[in-house]
A and B are shown apart, each in its own frame.
Chain A
Amino acid sequence: MDDPWKGSPRRILRGHFAILLLGMLSACATVDYLPPRQGTSADLQRILSQSLEFQMARLAWEPQGRTVDLQVRAWGGFQQPLGLEKYIRSLFQEWLIQRGGKIGAGDLQMTVLVSAFGSGVTRRDLSFRNIPLYYSEDLDAALEMAIWVRDRDGGLLHFWKGQQKSDTTDAFLMRFLGPLH
């Protein structure tokens, strides 16, 4: 009788591959983001900060030599918007000074109203008969910002409104291979 364990190298290789594939089919990769338990996700912070700086780069107004009273109002953020307002104020302060402006009570008032600044997460699972094939986490950020620049008498000198949507995706094949960006 033939030895059942005996086989050609190709058959053995195929057997090993089948075992490996079986293992992979039940594999699982998950992007763990559990706020606020482990702090705000680094991905979320990156996408939010990038969308803010991208919007500011499109702002076409030069404060050259003017003293600007800078006001920032937002209503996003976790629990309360104070941190978000301070962050945006710091960004605009640097932006104004780099362009020859000054910060303080003076010639102009600049109001930055952040009407939307937040994120959403979409998870997708493609599986066939409970075999996971493709899994992805899509993190998107939305920013809507309006800026008014007025003179001392309240006259409108400049108005600008911008919207920005950005997203980042982590995709995994067989829930193990990845992330593919």
Chain B
Amino acid sequence: MDSMGIRMRTMVGLLILGMLFLPACATKRYWGPSMGRAADSQFTPVEALEKAFRSLSYEPYRGKSVWIDVFTLTDRFGEESPEERFLRAWMKEKLVAQGARITAQRESAEVLLDVKARVFGIHQTRRDFIPLLYWEGTDGLVDLRLTAYAKGSMEIIHTQDLQAEARYREYYIFYIIGPIKRFH
């Protein structure tokens, strides 16, 4: 038997071994709404948010008292969506860390900051390459429009667009080995 034959036999042996995995199955499951929003769906947009804020210019807000309003196109049950509450709190911490003051009253602010989130969310794709590979992809996307107004005159003193994306992948080989996690 030549080396090619040995190689073929080895491959068939591996294939048979692989067949043992065929009935195996790994699938990510979220049982919403009792489980709440999946962790992947939370940390990927937050990672994108972190990336987007690296290019934010804090100069117009430093040493000023700021009031933040956040507007999104996301689903809501009450007056404010979870994304809006989170974004407002995030912005507040970022601005305070850079020397701005956040006011409790809109009337007492020097700067009114409108944050329009054109996009703040995820995009999920699943692929099955039966029986070899299965992966779940979660893309966190952020596209914000910041508009700062001078309270009183209501002149626009600063505008900025922030965009970023974070990609998270989980791979399963033979539907059982994994997850192999990758953050892009």
Stretch at the interface among B69-77, B90-98, B99-107: B69-77
B1-18 toward A: CB 8 Å interface, digit per residue (1/0)?
Answer: 110110011001000000
Given A27-B128, A31-B125, A40:B74 Cβ within 8 A: yes
- Say if the beta carbon of A78 comes within 8 Å of chain B: yes
Residue A43 interfacial (CB < 8 Å): yes
Indicate if B147 sits at the interface (CB-CB under 8 A).
yes
Residue ranges of B at the interface with A (Cβ–Cβ < 8 Å): 1-2, 4-5, 8-9, 12, 30, 32-33, 37-38, 41, 45, 69, 71-77, 79-84, 114, 116-132, 139-141, 143, 147, 149, 154-156, 159
Contact A90 B38 (CB under 8 A): no
Given contacts A30-B127, A45-B118, A49-B116, 17 further A-B contacts (CB under 8 A): A3-B5, A23-B131, A27-B127, A28-B126, A29-B126, A29-B128, A39-B74, A39-B121, A39-B122, A40-B121, A42-B123, A45-B74, A77-B75, A87-B73, A91-B116, A94-B147, A175-B127
Minimal beta-carbon separation of A66 from chain B (angstroms): 13
Q: List 13 A-B residue pairs with CB atoms under 8 Å apart, sorted by A's residue number.
A: A12-B8, A23-B132, A24-B129, A38-B32, A38-B38, A38-B41, A38-B122, A40-B121, A42-B119, A80-B76, A83-B72, A90-B69, A94-B114
User: From DSSP, what is the main secondary structure of chain A's interface residues?
Assistant: mixed
Q: Which chain A residues (13-42) contact chain B, with CB distance < 8 Å?
A: 23-24, 26-42
Chain A: which residue is nearest B112 at the CB level?
A93
Q: Which residue of B lies closest to A31 (CB)?
A: B125
Stretch at the interface among A97-105, A144-152, A154-162: A97-105
Interface centre among A44, A50, A87 (most CB of B within 10 A): A87
B2 touches A6 (CB 8 A): yes
- Given A12-B8, A82-B76, A94-B156, the answer on whether A30 and B125 have CB atoms closer than 8 Å is yes
Identify which of A30, A86, A103 contacts B154 (C-beta below 8 A): A103
- A6 and B4 within 8 A (CB): yes
Q: Is A176 an interface residue (CB 8 A)?
A: yes
- Chain A, interface residues (CB within 8 Å), range: 35 or more
Interface residues of chain A, those whose CB is within 8 Å of chain B, are 3, 5-7, 12, 23-24, 26-46, 48-50, 53, 77-80, 82-84, 86-87, 90-91, 93-94, 97-98, 102-103, 170, 175-176, 179
Residues of B within 8 Å of A48, CB to CB, are 73
For B128, the chain A residues whose CB sits under 8 A away are 26-29, 175-176
Cβ B139 vs Cβ A90 within 8 A: no
Q: Which residue of B lies closest to A91 (CB)?
A: B116
User: For the complex, what is the distance from the CA of A81 to the CA of B111, rounded to whole Å?
Assistant: 27
Residue among A3, A29, A42, A45 with the most chain B CB within 10 A?
A: A42
Chain B residues with CB below 8 A from A38, complex form = 30, 32, 37-38, 41, 122, 124
Asked if B119 and A46 sit within 8 Å, CB to CB, the answer is yes
A35 and B149 form a contact (CB under 8 A): no
Q: In the complex, are the beta carbons of A83 and B76 less than 8 A apart?
A: yes
Is the pair A27, B130 in contact by a Cβ cutoff of 8 Å?
Answer: yes
**Shortest Cβ distance from residue A47 to the other chain B in the assembled complex, whole angstroms:** 10
Determine if B37 and A102 form an interchain contact, defined as CB atoms under 8 angstroms apart. no
With A23-B129, A79-B76, A97-B155: A46-B143 Cβ-Cβ less than 8 Å: yes
